[in-house]
Amino acid sequence: MGRIALEGMEFFAFHGFYDEEQKIGNKYGVDLYIYTDLLAAAETDDLHQTVNYEVLYKLVVAEMLIPARLLEHLAHRIIDRIYQHFPLIRQIKVNVYKFNPPLGGICRHAKVTIKESR
């Protein structure tokens, strides 16, 4: 089994618990880790034998466009969408973080990590 990672993806999106957060938006980050069998791709050098990074990115973008109140919910939706598109993936770990969360003080980002296996 191998791992494919897309780290440091950044988006401006309209997520947040408070209505105001969903109106003004904020900067968000996503790290994605896909665990799957990479042997066929390694042996054949064939893109069709692996998980296409460009497709993964587009799946994340699609979920980032749909507002969510909780980062936990957003992370779970990203995982569900990827499993629907790539059923042979064995495990997905995703970090979703909100830059400068409105906490009343200095905080670089608030982050949620969810890891789900099949």
Write the pLDDT tens digit of every residue in 21-55: 999 999 999 999 999 999 999 999 999 999 999 99
CATH architecture observed for domain 2-117 = 2-Layer Sandwich (3.30)
Residues noted as catalytic: 98
Domain ranges within the chain, ordered by starting residue:
2-117
For 66-113, what is each residue's pLDDT tens digit? Answer: 999 999 999 999 999 999 999 999 999 999 999 999 899 999 999 999
Whole-model pTM?
A: 0.95
The SS3 call for residue 9 is strand
Whole-angstrom distance, CA of residue 20 vs CA of residue 104: 15
Integer CA distances (angstroms), 50 to 8, 84, 96, 97, 104, in order: 21, 15, 24, 27, 44
